[in-house]
């Protein structure tokens, strides 16, 4: 008889932005792989629907804006109390940005994008790492936009680059505890966030047509599915990547080239 091994059996996982898109698919995959998951997110309706999709024994949630430190410290503590600590933190929450040149940009909305991605990941590490078991893993969802520049998306590109700097620093600070820290760097992936960017950047009103236009510049000829990106997060969060830290995992169908 062949015994099926699950890759996160009994692991306690914190996911931010797990209500939709890549994060939600990651929650599904992690649970399939045996994990107990606590989700922090800003969309209360979607958090409720997540609780309805799963039993409370496998998925619990806390509402919080990742850019707000007091909300995050409370939500991370709530998750840590429920799960008695964490083995894996997936700092994934994010937002898109207006597609326009730097000279036309409003500073407040620029800062908001940095706050969600950079301060959000910082809060997840600052408040989550003390509750993370030695030997645990932290994964931040950066992007191909963390490794290359794309015109008219300055706050998003700057935020995604900054997350890599945060990851590299944290990987050194936490290595003495055997904690690994990496970024997941997806290319265009079928989610609402990418639809918004695609519609604005192509000027095509229809999200499907906009996606097809962008897919022409992806060597594999299509977007990632959220599941394919979640598989990357699973790899970095599991023991299969036990000697990998301080690096970027690109999942992009060859987009960066």
Ligand X SMILES: NC(=O)c1ccc[n+]([C@@H]2O[C@H](COP(=O)([O-])OP(=O)(O)OC[C@H]3O[C@@H](n4cnc5c(N)ncnc54)[C@H](O)[C@@H]3O)[C@@H](O)[C@H]2O)c1
- Among residues 41, 79, 80, 128, which is the contact residue for ligand X, using CB under 6 A? 41
Q: Does residue 67 belong to the site contacting ligand X (CB under 6 A)?
A: yes
Cα distance between residue 105 and residue 100, in whole Å: 7
Q: Does residue 191 belong to the site contacting ligand X (CB under 6 A)?
A: yes
Cα distance between residue 230 and residue 18, in whole Å: 11
**Shortest distance (Å) from residue 50 CB to ligand X:** 9
Run of H or E residues at 250 = strand 248-251
- Among residues 102, 175, 192, 240, which is the contact residue for ligand X, using CB under 6 A? 192
Segment interacting with ligand X (CB under 6 A) among 50-58, 99-107, 147-155, 189-197: 189-197
Q: Which residues contact 62 (CB under 8 A, 6 or more apart)?
A: 38, 39, 40, 74, 75, 78, 79
| Active-site option among 86, 88, 110, 156 | 156
Nearer to ligand X by C-beta: 6 or 112? 112
- Among residues 60, 137, 183, 189, which is the contact residue for ligand X, using CB under 6 A? 189
Q: Which residues contact 198 (CB under 8 A, 6 or more apart)?
A: 188, 204, 207, 210, 211, 213, 214
150 a catalytic residue:
no
Q: Does residue 20 belong to the site contacting ligand X (CB under 6 A)?
A: yes
**Shortest distance (Å) from residue 64 CB to ligand X:** 6
Burial 60-93 (b: 16+ CB within 10 A, else e): bbbbbbbbbbebbebbbebbbeebeebbbbbbbb
Nearer to ligand X by C-beta: 94 or 136? 94
- Output the furthest CA–CA distance in the chain (Å, rounded): 65
Helix %, strand %, coil % for the chain, to 5?
50, 20, 35
- Among residues 11, 12, 21, 90, which is the contact residue for ligand X, using CB under 6 A? 21
Residues with a known catalytic role: 156
Interface contacts to ligand X, rule CB under 6 A: 16-17, 19-23, 41-43, 65-67, 92-95, 116, 141, 143, 186, 188-189, 191-194
């Amino acid at each position: 008889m062949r015994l099926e091994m699950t890759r996160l059996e009994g692991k306690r996982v914190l996911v931010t932005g797990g209500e939709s898109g890549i994060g939600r698919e990651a929650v599904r995959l992690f649970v399939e792989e045996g994990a107990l998951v606590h989700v922090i997110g800003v969309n209360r309706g979607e958090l409720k629907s997540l609780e309805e999709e799963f039993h409370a024994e496998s998925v619990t949630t806390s509402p919080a804006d990742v850019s707000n430190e007091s909300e995050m410290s409370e939500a991370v503590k709530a998750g840590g109390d429920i799960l008695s600590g964490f083995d894996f933190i997936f700092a994934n929450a994010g937002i898109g940005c207006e597609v326009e040149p730097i000279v036309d940009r409003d500073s407040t909305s620029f800062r908001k994008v940095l706050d969600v991605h950079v301060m959000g990941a910082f809060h997840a590490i600052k408040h989550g790492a003390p509750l993370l078991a030695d030997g645990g893993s932290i994964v931040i969802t950066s992007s191909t936009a963390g490794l290359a520049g794309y015109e008219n998306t300055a706050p998003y590109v700057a935020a995604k680059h900054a997350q890599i700097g945060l990851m590299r620093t944290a990987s050194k600070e936490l290595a003495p505890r055997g904690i690994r820290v990496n970024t997941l760097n997806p290319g265009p992936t079928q989610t609402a966030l990418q639809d918004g960017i695609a519609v604005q950047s192509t000027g095509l009103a229809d999200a499907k047509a906009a996606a097809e236009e962008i897919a022409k510049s992806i060597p594999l000829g299509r977007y990632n599915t959220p599941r394919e990106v979640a598989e990357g997060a699973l790899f970095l969060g599991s023991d299969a990547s036990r000697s990998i830290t301080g690096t970027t995992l690109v999942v992009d169908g060859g987009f960066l080239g």
